[in-house]
Amino acid sequence: MPQQFNPVKLFPGSGSVDLAAKIAKAYGRELGDVVISRFSDGEFQPSFNESVRGCDVFLIQSTNQPYDNLMELLLLTDAAKRASAHYITVVVPYFGMARQDRKDKPRVAIGAKLIANLITAAGANRIMTMDLHAAQIQGFFDIPVDHLDASVIFVPYIKSLKLPNLTIASPDMGGSYRARTFAKFFNAEVVICDKRRKRANEIESMSIIGDVKDRDIVLIDDICDTAGTLAKAADLIMQNGASSVRAVCTHPVLSGKAYDTVENSVLTELIVTDTIPLKQDSSKIRVLSTAELFSKAIANVNQHGSISDLFRVE
């Protein structure tokens, strides 16, 4: 007798509606019916307009700013649990607060661990996310974590550019492991930009470790926030004789004057995914979709298949 799987229902949070619609289309079904009721003081209450009893429920919402996105995800999770969903997976393409993953100075919170606790306490059975700022955040959860890798999306695109002298670069020392991992797909050399910060989002100085002369440089990072680091690194790389420089960043946070910074930089292009919707258009920003990858991961979770099969880069 063939194995029977629980019915799947996909629901979007209001901050990730477009991506959720793409994931649902790639999966081959419609999004579920969910409504967010709002009170005049700003309080809101999500509710499902269809039964989820006995279903494998996937709630799709990035937890970027504002914090309403996180609170909405928690309330959706609680609602699904109280409505007798069989299994609840929160699909968090961008896991906010991930930069607060340790005590780097006295008397600070570890925000990433707190969010992990809240998601688990709300009733999630599993979390699916992509390119955490630090891979060890997976250990903050006491539920299964599917940590998807955006390199399977970026590598084919970079290969299609056919760059003659490709070299991979990290914009800081902390991203060196990520850059080396990426470089293995191309058999490429790695250079590192060593930066010193005055404070968060403000760079004091930067230098390059490695040779970039006559090279086509691709900077690799997980988050592009103000774009200041990428712009400064790109400037320094071009000043040292590179032929071209572009950047790959999974999560386009792009806060403050980031769009102007990218437009006015020497970057040929900034390649990002749709884990966070762009706030405005930019001639230098190219968006690659994560929908197909997330839809395959959702199918594999529902059918008890392998997630590691999705890490194969072609």
Position 1 confidence tier, pLDDT thresholds 50, 70, 90: very low
CA-based torsion, 176, 178, 182, 187: positive or negative: positive
What are the residue boundaries of the structural domains of the chain, listed by start? 8-148+291-311, 151-288
Q: What is the pLDDT of residue 174?
A: 83
Indicate whether 204 pLDDT > 70.
Answer: no
Dist. CA 217–CA 165, nearest whole Å: 8
Assigned CATH class of 151-288:
alpha beta
Tell me if residue 30 falls in helix, strand or coil: coil
Give the pLDDT band of residue 172 (cuts 50, 70, 90).
Answer: confident
Q: What is the pLDDT of residues 81-98, one digit of tens each?
A: 999 999 999 999 999 999
Concerning whether 195 is annotated as a catalytic residue, the answer is yes
Residues found in the chain: 314
β strands within 161-243, DSSP E: 166-170, 189-199, 202-209, 216-224
- Classified as helix, coil or strand, 23 is helix
Fold classification of 8-148+291-311 is: Rossmann fold (3.40.50)
What's the CA gap between 304 and 301, in Å, rounded? 5
Two structure tokens written together for 260: 């102007």
Phi (first) and psi of residue 240, to 5 degrees: -95, 15
pLDDT at 192: 93
Strand partners, 194: 207
10 Å CB burial of residue 248 (0-12, 13-18, 19+) is buried
pLDDT tens, residue by residue, 240-296: 999 999 999 999 999 999 999 999 999 999 999 999 999 999 999 999 999 999 999
pTM of the model: 0.93
Domains 8-148+291-311 and 151-288 share a fold: yes
Confidence class of residue 309 from pLDDT cuts 50, 70 and 90?
A: confident
DSSP string, 38-69: E-TTS-EEEEESS--TT-EEEEE---PSSTHH
Region 138-159: what's the mean pLDDT?
96
Total Cβ atoms within 10 A of residue 202: 9
Say which of 22, 81, 105, 195 is annotated catalytic: 195
Nearest-angstrom CA–CA distance, 229 and 226: 8
pLDDT-derived band at 194, boundaries 50, 70, 90: confident
pLDDT digit string (tens) for 13-69? 999 999 999 999 999 999 999 999 999 999 999 999 999 999 999 999 999 999 999
* Helix pair angle (291-302, 17-27), 10° resolution: 60
Query: DSSP labels for 237-297?
Result: HHHTT-SEEEEEEEEE---TTHHHHHHTSS-S-EEEESSS--SS--TTEEEE--HHHHHHH
Higher pLDDT, 195 or 78: 78
Please confirm whether the linkage preceding 7 is cis (ω < 30° from 0).
no
pLDDT bucket at 199, cuts 50 / 70 / 90? low
Mean pLDDT (the chain, rounded): 93
- Judge contact between 150 and 224, C-beta under 8 A: no
Q: Using CA atoms, how far apart are residues 240 and 25, in angstroms rounded to an integer? A: 46
Residue percentage of the chain with pLDDT more than 90: 85
pLDDT in tens, 105-123: 899 999 999 999 999 999 9
In this structure, are residues 297 and 128 in contact, taking their beta carbons and an 8 Å threshold?
yes
Residue 196 has pLDDT above 80, yes or no: no
